[in-house]
Amino acid sequence: MKKILTISCIAAALIACRKTDFTPASVSPGSANFTTYVAVGNSLTEGYMDDGLSAYGQGHSYPSILAQQMKLADPSMAFLQPMVTGNGSGYIHLAYVNGQIDPINATDSTYVNPTGPDPSWANWGTTLQGTFVNNMGISGIRLTDCVSDGGLEKSINWVVCSQNPFGRFMNFGNLGVPIQYIDHIRSSKATFFTCWLGDNDVLGYALNGGVSSSPFPGVTLNNITTPAEFAQKYDSVLTAFHNIGAQGICMTIPNVTSIPYFNTVPTFVLVNGVRKYFYIQTGNGSVRLATNNDYILLPAYDSVTAGCGTTIGRPIPNDLVLDAAEADSVAVATVQYNNSIKSLAAQFGYGVVDMYTYLQEFQTSETIDGISFSRTFIQGGTFGLDGIHPTARGYADVANQIILEINSKYGATIPQVDITKYNAEIFPNF
């Protein structure tokens, strides 16, 4: 008995020494200075999600996720976003109707819409003017709108910026004395920045099927910014950051035609196993059969389902088609923009996250932590219900890519976020 007791005591002591816990690694900013982090960019930066700007989307913007991780290295840093209230501008949600899933727009009032605009949205932002915000992303803004040497272009930029509801938090001055977007960069006191400007310089054109529009006399939207102008203005933005001594990371422009908006509606229907291509109206107005190099845009979904495009007399209209020639000009410009971004960032000594290359991988399917990501509309998990902007999970992954680059460029040890904590689409339950 005594022996058994002795043995049991030894056993208990041995079992006690089995602590395996890891001490989490210490988080260091390395040579980076996160005191004032400024994010510049467009809708992707502002936190636009499911075709709207909501508090949820802003709370899951990649700059906000990034700042949360930067704070682990520098707990004293402050990070402010121009928050909307609740649904903000309103956004698309999924409904479950007669056994099918249906994305419902913010403005759809067929029945009570739980994701319609918040009443405060109409006046959102104006009271924030004058308050410094760290997330300066403005949905819809192009690089070309950010800076101008003067003259008519400066006035046009003022019109475009000041009329943009998603930029109402920023003071653009008045037509006589405009304050440019780049002026806000210059006065930002940024010590660290991320720059994801430039998507809309091709995306606006592509989303509109290559059709430009003129909302105000003398103002043309949705054309492709020339690569020379892009390079010059990108240089101005980086110079502005350089002059205030900021460190930072630049992101390249994704291949816009790889997103669900351009890949969900097929260019043909299968009739008895044979591909019957749709009739489309091309950029020059002519009507022809679609090919595999044309893209039919997501908003054409319902009209194509209703038979549009099946006869020559009823082609899919020009503004719902990015035809092969238009797609080609988008692709050419994107590559040239990205060459400029990479060479300018290198010239200024800034880091680069090649989002173009990274998002190409999602064309098939990627798995992260056991979750599959693809570019498939709705269920792919990467892109939200507008087929353009990432889900919260997608934004978390963007933030993780930037963290990798910050760590490698500045010797920081910021941990990546756990993407499993971020949601993709919420599926309806009734």
What is the binding site for other proteins (CB under 8 A)? 3, 7, 10-11, 14-15, 18-25, 27, 72, 94, 96-103, 301-302, 365-372, 374, 376, 378-379, 381, 415-418, 420-421, 423-430
DSSP state of 106: T
Work out how close the CB of 393 gets to other proteins at its nearest, in angstroms, rounded to a whole number: 8
In this complex, which beta carbon is closest to other proteins, that of residue 18 or of residue 123? 18
Instruction: Enumerate the β-bridge partners of residue 97.
Output: 100
Burial 343-353 (b: 16+ CB within 10 A, else e): ebbeebebbbb
Question: From the CB of 395, what's the least distance to other proteins, in Å?
Answer: 15
CB of 68 or CB of 293, closer to other proteins: 68
Q: Give me the amino acid identity at 423.
A: N
To other proteins, the closest distance from the beta carbon of 258 in angstroms equals: 18
CB 428 to other proteins: min, Å:
5
Crossing angle of helices 392-410 and 62-73, in 10° steps, is: 40
Which CB sits closer to other proteins, 22 or 284?
22
- What is the CA 407 to chain-centroid distance, rounded? 22
For 220, other C-beta atoms within 10 Å of its C-beta total: 11
**Can you tell me the distance from the alpha carbon of 399 to that of 366, in angstroms, rounded to the nearest whole number?**
16
Q: How far apart are CA 267 and CA 297, in angstroms?
A: 10
At its nearest, how many Å lie between other proteins and the CB of residue 103? Answer: 5
Cα angle 42-43-47, degrees, rounded to a multiple of 5: 125
Comparison of 177 and 306: residue with beta carbon closer to other proteins = 306
Q: Kindly state the smallest distance separating residue 421's Cβ from other proteins, in Å.
A: 8
Which is nearer to other proteins, 155 or 376 (by Cβ)?
A: 376
Cβ nearer to other proteins, comparing 166 with 395: 395
Q: β-strand 274-277 against 268-271: which pairing, if any?
A: antiparallel
